[in-house]
């Protein structure tokens, strides 16, 4: 379980930093070319940061500085092996991207949700602290192969093209506090256009932006997305039919002390929302019934008991507040189950390196 937790923590950061490849800055200015004056921390809270990004199906902000430098290290402080694994992943990210992930502060992303076999398309901005000239030069050379990367000039900006197989990301170092990233590179250019006021920005989607602004401002992660109804196509069960009435999903995750989750499914009316609420309530009660009376599942039952479902007009809200102590109990339960599946005693670890078997590489 510990190894899985460390890898999960690293994947969270990777999805924010490398997998989604972002970039941005602080301040407020009427000059669209003054990137360092384009964004402030308040711009991420208010959603104004999305005015620098192209339109999409998903809006997402992450307090990456807190997540990387405070939340995750605190989660791993009593697990030396996990902490070592996490630090290795951070080093790999820096080697791959030439950017120290621990210098990142705030991130905003606009993404097109893929349909069918399409690849996701996104653009993002990220605040941090780095030497702009040195970072630009380091990005131009692949750290691993030492190959020189291609660059493109667009609207006075140098876009560095980072390729990994069929994947391509365009990175722009706007200044010593701001990065802009997009994939494919066309999304990077759209972000530059949005920043210059030459193209539509994500902030023009009033309905999606309003949902984002409804999320918890102190959340480490906040998001709003158009519900991907095509994922339910062809499913005939009643729950799927009810869910298809959802227009927007939005919510937040606060990981400062345990896990505080708020998730809202917004429909067009209370009549559409009520069946979804009732379906979730049935599933929740079924889950509690399955866990009830089973000592090994007590921690999982505690998680289910922390869930509160509510109906407010067209919105169905799920709120969950799980303290750190309960998360630790859940981790122990997973560890015990893993040990028993591996033939060991409860509380012991399966054969291998003590982390669900196998080596830590």
CA neighbor of 223 nearest in space, from 21, 58, 54, 104 = 58
pLDDT score recorded for residue 232: 74
- Mean pLDDT value across residues 106-114: 92
Categorize the per-residue pLDDT at 16 as very low, low, confident or very high, splitting at 50, 70 and 90: very low
The tens digit of pLDDT for each residue in 176-220 reads 888 999 999 999 999 999 999 999 999 999 999 999 999 999 899
Q: Which residues neighbour 286 within 8 Å (Cβ) at sequence distance 6 or greater?
A: none
- Mean pLDDT value across residues 305-315: 95
Chain centroid, CA 264 distance in Å: 17
H or E segment to which residue 180 belongs: strand 178-183
pTM of the predicted model, to two decimals? 0.78
Cα 237 to Cα 328: distance, rounded to the nearest angstrom: 36
**What sign does the CA torsion over 61, 65, 66, 72 have?**
positive
Say yes or no to pLDDT of 274 above 70.
yes
Three-state DSSP class for residue 77: coil
Say yes or no to pLDDT of 353 above 80.
no
Categorize the per-residue pLDDT at 235 as very low, low, confident or very high, splitting at 50, 70 and 90: confident
**Average pLDDT across the chain, whole number:** 80
Categorize the per-residue pLDDT at 20 as very low, low, confident or very high, splitting at 50, 70 and 90: very low
Categorize the per-residue pLDDT at 337 as very low, low, confident or very high, splitting at 50, 70 and 90: low
Cα 93 to Cα 115: distance, rounded to the nearest angstrom: 28
pLDDT score recorded for residue 32: 36
H or E segment to which residue 159 belongs: strand 157-164
Do 142 and 149 touch, CB atoms closer than 8 A? Answer: yes
Cα 197 to Cα 11: distance, rounded to the nearest angstrom: 34
Dump the DSSP string for 313-325: TTEEEEEEEE-HH
Which range has the worst mean pLDDT, 32-36, 256-260, 278-282? 32-36
Do 46 and 217 touch, CB atoms closer than 8 A? Answer: no
Neighbours of 40 (CB within 10 A): 17
Do 48 and 39 touch, CB atoms closer than 8 A? Answer: yes
Do 34 and 195 touch, CB atoms closer than 8 A? Answer: no
Cα 143 to Cα 227: distance, rounded to the nearest angstrom: 39
* Residue positions counted in the chain: 361
Q: Which residues neighbour 221 within 8 Å (Cβ) at sequence distance 6 or greater?
A: 60, 61, 62, 63, 67, 252, 253, 255
Categorize the per-residue pLDDT at 293 as very low, low, confident or very high, splitting at 50, 70 and 90: confident
Cα 273 to Cα 316: distance, rounded to the nearest angstrom: 6
pLDDT score recorded for residue 286: 92
C-alpha pair distances (Å), 251 with each of 158, 171, 210, 213 = 35, 28, 12, 10
- Mean pLDDT value across residues 334-358: 50
Cα 95 to Cα 79: distance, rounded to the nearest angstrom: 24
Cα 109 to Cα 55: distance, rounded to the nearest angstrom: 10
Share of the chain above pLDDT 90, in %: 43
For residues 168 and 351, the model is more confident at 168
The tens digit of pLDDT for each residue in 117-156 reads 778 899 999 998 888 888 888 889 887 788 899 999 999 9
Share of the chain above pLDDT 70, in %: 80
Categorize the per-residue pLDDT at 9 as very low, low, confident or very high, splitting at 50, 70 and 90: very low
H or E segment to which residue 272 belongs: helix 270-291
Categorize the per-residue pLDDT at 22 as very low, low, confident or very high, splitting at 50, 70 and 90: very low
The tens digit of pLDDT for each residue in 87-107 reads 888 888 777 766 788 888 999
Cα 358 to Cα 344: distance, rounded to the nearest angstrom: 15
pLDDT score recorded for residue 246: 95
Neighbours of 223 (CB within 10 A): 21
Which range has the worst mean pLDDT, 24-38, 70-84, 223-237, 320-334? 24-38
- Mean pLDDT value across residues 305-322: 95
Q: Give the count of alpha carbons within 13 A of 243, CB side only.
A: 17
């Amino acid at each position: 379980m510990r190894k899985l937790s460390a890898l999960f923590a690293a994947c969270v950061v990777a999805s924010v930093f490398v997998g989604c490849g972002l970039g941005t800055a602080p301040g407020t200015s009427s000059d669209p070319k003054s990137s360092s004056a384009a964004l402030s921390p308040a711009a991420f809270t208010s959603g104004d940061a999305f005015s620098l990004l192209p339109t999409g199906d998903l809006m997402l902000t992450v307090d990456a500085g807190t997540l990387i430098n405070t939340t995750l290290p605190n989660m791993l402080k009593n697990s030396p092996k996990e902490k070592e694994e996490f630090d290795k992943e951070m080093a790999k990210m820096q080697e791959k991207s030439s950017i120290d992930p621990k210098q990142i502060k705030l991130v905003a992303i606009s993404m097109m949700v893929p349909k069918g076999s399409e690849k996701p398309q996104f653009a993002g901005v990220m605040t941090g602290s780095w030497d702009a000239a040195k970072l630009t030069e380091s990005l131009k050379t692949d750290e691993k192969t030492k190959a020189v990367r291609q660059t493109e000039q667009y609207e006075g900006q140098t876009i560095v093209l980072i390729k990994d197989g069929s994947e391509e990301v365009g990175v722009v170092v706007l200044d010593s506090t701001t990065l802009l990233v997009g994939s494919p590179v066309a999304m990077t250019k759209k972000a530059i256009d949005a920043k210059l006021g030459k193209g539509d920005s994500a902030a023009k989607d009033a309905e999606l932006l309003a949902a984002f602004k409804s999320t918890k401002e102190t959340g480490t992660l906040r998001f709003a997305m158009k519900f991907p109804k095509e994922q339910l196509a062809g499913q005939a069960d009643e729950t799927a039919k009810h869910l298809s009435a959802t227009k927007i999903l939005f919510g937040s995750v606060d990981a400062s002390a345990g896990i505080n989750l708020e998730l809202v499914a917004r429909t067009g009316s209370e009549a559409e929302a009520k069946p979804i609420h009732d379906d979730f309530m049935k599933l929740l009660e079924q889950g509690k019934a399955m866990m009830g009376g089973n000592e090994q599942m007590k921690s999982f039952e505690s998680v289910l008991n922390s869930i509160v479902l509510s109906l407010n007009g067209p919105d169905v809200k799920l709120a969950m507040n799980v303290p750190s102590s309960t998360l630790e109990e859940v981790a122990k339960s997973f560890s015990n189950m893993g040990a028993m599946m591996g033939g060991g005693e409860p509380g012991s670890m399966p054969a291998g390196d003590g982390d669900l078997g196998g080596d830590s590489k």
